[in-house]
Structure 1
Amino acid sequence: MSGIEIILFSLAVLFVAATLASHLKWTAWWIRVTDFPRLQITISMLLIFILSLAFYRFNEAWQIIISSLLLLSIAYQVVKISRYTIFSPKQVVAYHGNDQEQSISLMVSNVLQTNRNSSELLKLVEELKPDLLLTVEANDWWEKQLSLIEKDYVHTIKKPLDNLYGMILYSKLELKDAQINYLIDDDIPSIEAQVRLRSGQLIQIYCLHPKPPFPTESDTSTERDGELLLVGKKIEKERTPALVFGDFNDVAWSKSTRMFQKVSQLLDPRIGRGFFNTFHAQHFLMRWPLDHIFHSSDFKLIKIKRLKSIGSDHFPMYISLHFEPTSKQLHEEPQADRQEEQEAKEKIRDADPKKYQQLAAPENGLGITPNR
């Protein structure tokens, strides 16, 4: 092997291994982080393959084998991310009317607890005037800075924290039965409430920010996956109009988020429209979609947009939706098969066995069989 062949071979092995790792069900953080940079891995492998065509003579078996593995890995990655390109059919139908009574707009912003550029977020709020604003990583400093908007956002749910998991929801619309939950971890809050549209229609909302699989946070993705799927099972049971939004610390195309979507039967308005990468705002080459907004099939999409930087490591996301019950007939809801339903139950059990047993109680009706 020449020097360039050794380099190309080594890089090919690395990215093929990363592709294989992303396919595994193991929850260890060093496995699950391979879910995130699928686009970057795909582009890297494509460049390696092109260079291989230039420098390999393909007169040795290893050259043919590694190049074939590269092509297979590229194809696998493309299949995973292609749904989030304009070449894929849109999962959510667009709305072209002007009915404000049945519409709702919201903004999601991971503000970055140490960020002190609150004026940029305030400018966006003033410009877009969303009905709901969710801030995550909000602490007491951020609560004080954003108190300026409370004259317009008179309904709030606040849990500012200094552990990077504080959460504050501001709403112009009435909130009903609002509560702060700790679904898996005692120091990771989430918000559950009903929001009343101007028409009077009630919409169930869930705001989430679970821990990421990363050495400084969690050694595995178990807690994150369990929290997402707990909410998914509740939505599956209730079957009411619903919105789920926040920083999931997971990418849109991961197995965990796809399973959540199938269990909850919620739609992703990004499918067929784009990646809408929100993290990392300061690193152009290392970005992926971490901030999500899912909704039930009785909504149509008015607008979705990734917003400009506010000094955080996340870009904010904005979306406006129109509630239209008849649109259920226009949408194909994701469906979990029996194996995926069983896997979802196992993930909830692994995340919190006590919570799993509580959900298995007959009165909860979530279709979970208790351990015997």
Structure 2
Amino acid sequence: MRIIEFVVTFLGFFMLIPTIASLTRFDQWWVRGFDFPRIQISLFILIILVSTFFTYEYDATLHFVLSGLLVLSLIYQVSKIFPYTVLSKKQVLSFKGNDPEAIISILVSNVLTTNKQSDKLIALVKKKEPDILLTLETDKRWEKELEVIEPQYPYGVKIPLDNLYGMHLYSKLKLEDIEVKYLIKGDIPSIHGYVRMNNKKRIKIHCLHPKPPSPTEDPTSTNRDAELLLVGRDVKKDQESVLVFGDLNDVAWSRTTRLFQKLSGLLDPRIGRGFYNTFHAGHRLLRWPLDHVFHTRDFTLIELARLENIGSDHFPMFIKLNYEPRAEILQEEPEEADEEEKEWAEEKIEEGHPTEREV
């Protein structure tokens, strides 16, 4: 076997690993880590597949087998990310009107605790003027520096922490029945409650930032999955309007986030519009969508944008939604979870040993 043929064959079999790992339900960090770079994995598989056409003479069974497996692997990877391309049908309808009473805008920003460029976020807040600002990884220093925006944001929740999981919620709209909960881990907070829109509509909100699976954070995805699925399971979409937003430390196309949507019935405005990759801001070729906003079917989309770099490893995300009850008739609800998926969700939730049973 020629050296070039050996290299292509080796790389071909190596690039089958991400797909094989994704087909399993193992929750070790290195297995679940393959959920994130599906865009990059698809590109590498395509490059290797094209290389086989120029390298192989197809005079051995191995050539056909590997090429076939690469094709199947590519189809699998692309099928996961395709809904988040402009070629797919939009899940959330666009709204072109401008009724200020029915509009709510949210800016989500993981600031990176060590980031000293708070002026960039403050300038962004002044520019976009969101109704709600959620900052993540904010500590006492960040809390102090963000005091300058508090006159415009009379309602708030402050949870300054030094463990990279601090969380601050600033709102121009009235916040009601707010609770800070530690759903899975005693040092990982989340914010739950209601926001009162200008038209007096009461909206349930869940602000999340679960711990990611990684060798430095959590050896498995169990705790992250449990938190997301717990919130998804207990969302009362048929009884109230709901917004779930934050840095979920999971990509939109993972098994967990897709099951979260099935359980909650919430819509993802990125579907049919683009990836909106928010992490890593410092690496152009290694980016995926970690910061999310999900909502019930009674909202339509005015604006969705990934904003400019503020010195963090995350780009901020901005969304502006229009509350329109009639949209529920026009917007399809995500596919419901089947019994097997519900059982798996319950297993994951139990494995996380939740401290709060209801959200």
Query: Shorter-chain TM-score category?
Result: over 0.9
Q: Could you tell me which residue of structure 1 aligns to residue 284 of structure 2?
A: 284
Question: Which residue matches 1:193?
Answer: 193
Aligned-partner residue type, residue 340 of structure 1: E
Q: Give the secondary structure class of the aligned counterpart of 2:16.
A: helix
Residue 213 (1) aligns with residue 216 (2): no
Alignment of structure 1 residues 339-350 onto 2, 5 Å = 339-350=340-351
Is 1:139 aligned with 2:139? yes
In the alignment, the residues of structure 2 paired with residue 66 and residue 166 of structure 1 have an alpha-carbon distance, to the nearest angstrom, of 47
Q: Does 1:157 align with 2:157?
A: yes
Query: Superposition pairs for residues 1-372 of structure 1, below 5 Å?
Result: 1-236=1-236, 239-334=239-334, 335-352=336-353, 355=355, 359=357
Report the equivalent of 1:369.
none
Q: Quick check: 2:308–2:315 contact (8 Å CA) kept in 1?
A: yes
Kindly indicate whether the alpha-carbon contact (under 8 Å) linking 2:165 and 2:209 is maintained by their aligned counterparts in 1.
yes
Match of 1:370 in 2: none
- Secondary structure in 2 matching 1:101: helix
In 1, Cα distance between equivalents of 2:138 and 2:46: 40
Work out the CA distance in 2 between the residues paired with 1:39 and 1:5. Answer: 25
> 2:146 aligns to what SS in structure 1?
helix
- Deviation string 1:50-94 (CA, Å, 9 cap, x unpaired) is 111111111111111111110000000111100000110000011
Please state how far the C-alpha of 1:237 moved relative to its aligned partner. 7.0
How many Å apart are 1:239 and its aligned residue? 3.4
1:2-35 Cα deviation digits (max 9, x unpaired):
1111211121111111111012111111110000
AA partner of residue 346 (structure 1): E
CA shift, 1:238, in A, is 6.4
2-structure distance, mates of 1:237, 1:318: 23
**2 CA distance for matches of 1:9 and 1:40?**
19
Q: Is the 8 A contact 1:104 1:321 kept in 2?
A: yes
Do the aligned residues in 1 keep the contact of 2:237 with 2:266 (CA within 8 Å)?
no
Q: Distance in 2 between matches of 1:331 and 1:237?
A: 14
The 2-side partners of 1:7 and 1:295 are apart by 47
C-alpha deviation, 1:350, in angstroms: 1.0
Query: For the residues of structure 1 that align with 2:130 and 2:214, how far apart are their CA atoms?
Result: 32
SS of the residue 1:245 aligns to: strand
1:262 and 1:167 mapped to 2: Cα distance?
Answer: 27
Contact 1:236 1:263 in 2 (8 A): no
Helix, strand or coil at the partner of 1:62: helix
Q: Deviations over 1:154-209 (max 9, x none)?
A: 10101010000000000000000011100000000000120000011000000000
Partner AA of 1:93 in structure 2? L
Question: Is the Cα–Cα contact under 8 Å of residues 190 and 209 in structure 1 kept in the other structure?
Answer: yes
Q: Percent identity?
A: 52
User: What is the one-letter code of the residue matched to 1:142?
Assistant: W
Deviations 1:287-324 (CA, angstroms, capped at 9, x unpaired): 00000000001100010000010010000000000111
Match of 2:235, SS state, is helix
For 1:54, what is the secondary structure of its paired residue?
helix
Range 60-69 or range 315-324, more displaced = 60-69
Query: Do the aligned residues in 2 keep the contact of 1:35 with 1:254 (CA within 8 Å)?
Result: yes
Range with greater deviation from structure 2 (234-243 or 41-50): 234-243
Give how far 1:222 is off: 0.5
Instruction: Tell me if the contact between 1:236 and 1:265 (Cα under 8 Å) persists in the aligned partners.
Output: no
**TM-score w.r.t. length of structure 2:** 0.98
On the 8 A contact 2:156/2:168 being kept in 1, the answer is yes
Amino acid at match of 2:345: A
Q: Cα RMSD between the aligned structures?
A: 1.3
Give TM-score, length-normalised by structure 1: 0.94
